[in-house]
Amino acid sequence: MSGARPISSLDLSPGIRTKLTKAGFQTVRDLEETTPVDLSKGISTDDALKILQQTKRNTVDAMSASEVLVRERLAASISTSSNAIDNMLGGGVPIRKITEFCGAPGIGKTQFGIQLSVNVQIPETLSGPEGEAVYIDTEGSFIAQRAAEIASAMVERVNGHQHAGTEALVNVDTILSKIHYFRLHNCVELIALVKVLDEFLKEHSKVKIIIIDSIAFHFRHGFSDMALRTRILNSLAQDLTKIAHSFNLAVVIFNQMTTKFFVSSDRSATDQAILIPALGESWAHQCNNRIILYWQDGIRCANLIKSANRREQIVTYQIGATGIRDVIDDASSSRKRPREDLND
């Protein structure tokens, strides 16, 4: 079918395109029959070669499912330090996928980001990814001291698995030196960074996770043209997907929540407002996994609402001095009791 693609959809400069149409070329199939010399009757050979390379680039590059399976098996997921959330995601935040966390302010999105950027460095001997992290901060909410705190808790955990007397596997300073931090002040910088991120990743080939905290902030102001916003977001997401695939890394994006009003036709009825992830419907299609974080009765909950391979599920977690952890059973049951009292 791709042969029927019209010439006008190739990214050729208008001058060359006019010449092609004049010469009677309408679709890509017409071009396939020619050779560079043949084509160069009206234009230079360089341009002719360029045109033909364009058409060839449009052929499909397929990979068999078994190849994909092998690749995905090889990639270790990144643990969130909460078993419940890891199980919900099938072992942790998946490599080669875009995972989005949405949540109200104060629910712990930044904590997830810091925890993941530390956990990506769990050594291979403990079946961790042993990689580095890129942390893209658009909000300025990253606190280095907190990263040090979470890192030292991770170090203690990892070294606890070691036999006494052997050398420690990790230490806090090396962990912190392997988190690359970008602070962006507007969305132009974000577009620019994603554009040249592949150069950075070539220099730092051990990067296994890219964290964007948060995608929404700069896109929620200063855009009068919503179509433009959608287009920029989509092209960002496509670039990120490409990066996730070609560099074998996980992309984690944090998103804010926004309030959507429903006005009931009956004036006396209560008006409803629901909290939904920001940036709209078309953005929702860009992520492979989407997790909503929210409070329920004083307990933090995580709800997987979009995933291609895991079922929808709600789990609880908590955030302590050492980072993200599971809710311990007896603690949660004692907290649930007052709620039951309330219902009576």
Partner 1 sequence: MTSNRRLARMPPHLALTAGQLAKLALYPNGGIRTTKELLEKSKIELVENCDLDGEVVEDIKRKVSRWIVPKSVTVLSLLSSISFTPPFFTTCIPHLDAALNGGIPFSSVTEIVGPSRSGKTQFCMTMSVIATMPCEKGGLGGSVCFIDTEGTLDVDRLVEIASNRFPDYFNPLTPEGKSNLLRMTQNVHIMNAKSTQEVLQSLEGLQELIITHKIRLVLFDSVGYIVRKEFNNMTNEMKDRYSSPSLMGRSDMLIRESAMLKFLAESFRMAVVVTNQVIRYSRPNMISTSSNVRKRVCTRETNNSYHVTSVLGSGWAHSITTQLTLECFDNGVSGIGQGDATNNAKRVKITKSPIAPRKSFYYAIDKCGIVEIDMETNMRNNEVGSVVNYEGNGPF
Q: Identify residues 100-129 at the interface with partner 1 (CB under 8 A).
A: 104-106, 110-111
Return the DSSP state at 258: E
Contact (CB, 8 A) for 257 and 278: yes
Alpha-carbon distance of 147 to 16, in angstroms, equals 54
Query: Do 307 and 289 form a contact (C-beta atoms < 8 A)?
Result: yes
Cβ-based nearer residue to partner 1, 71 or 181:
181
Closest approach of Cβ 2 to partner 1, in Å? 17
Report 42-101 residues binding partner 1 (CB under 8 A).
50, 54
State the nearest-atom distance from the C-beta of 244 to partner 1, in Å.
19
Q: Does 242 bind partner 1 (CB under 8 A)?
A: no
Please, what is the minimum distance in Å from the beta carbon of residue 31 to partner 1? 15
74 vs 340 by CB, closer to partner 1: 340
Nearest approach in angstroms of CB 215 to partner 1 is 12
- Quote the distance between the C-alpha of residue 314 and its chain's center: 21
- The residue from 134, 215, 233, 252 that contacts partner 1 (CB under 8 A) is 134
Shortest distance, position 91 Cβ to partner 1, whole Å = 22
Nearest-approach distance from CB 10 to partner 1, in angstroms = 8
**Which residue among 75, 91, 319, 322 contacts partner 1 (CB under 8 A)?**
319
Q: Which is nearer to partner 1, 97 or 325 (CB)?
A: 325
User: With DSSP H G I counted as helix, E B as strand and the rest as coil, what are the percentages for the chain, rounded to 5?
Assistant: 45, 20, 35
Query: What 8-state DSSP symbol labels residue 275?
Result: E
Interactions with partner 1, residue window 267-296 (CB under 8 A):
267, 270-276, 292, 294, 296
- Site mask for partner 1 (CB under 8 A), range 179-198, x = bound: xxxxxxxx-xx-xxx-xx--
Residues in contact with 90: Cβ distance below 8 Å, sequence separation at least 6, in sequence order: 77, 309, 310
195 in Cβ contact with 187 (< 8 Å): no
Cβ-based nearer residue to partner 1, 52 or 191: 191
Q: Is the CB of 235 or the CB of 333 nearer to partner 1?
A: 235
Site string for partner 1, 154-183 (x = CB under 8 A): -------------------x--xxxxxxxx
A 10 A CB-CB count for 6 gives 11
CA separation for the pair 193, 182 (Å, rounded): 9
The DSSP annotation for 186-240 comes to: SHHHHHHHHHHHHHHHHHSTTEEEEEEE-SSGGGSSS---HHHHHHHHHHHHHHH
According to CB under 8 A, which residues from 201 to 230 bind partner 1? 214, 216-218, 220-222, 228
Task: Report the C-alpha gap between 27 and 23 in whole angstroms.
Answer: 12
238 binds partner 1 (CB under 8 A): no
Q: Is 239 one of the binding residues for partner 1 (CB under 8 A)?
A: no
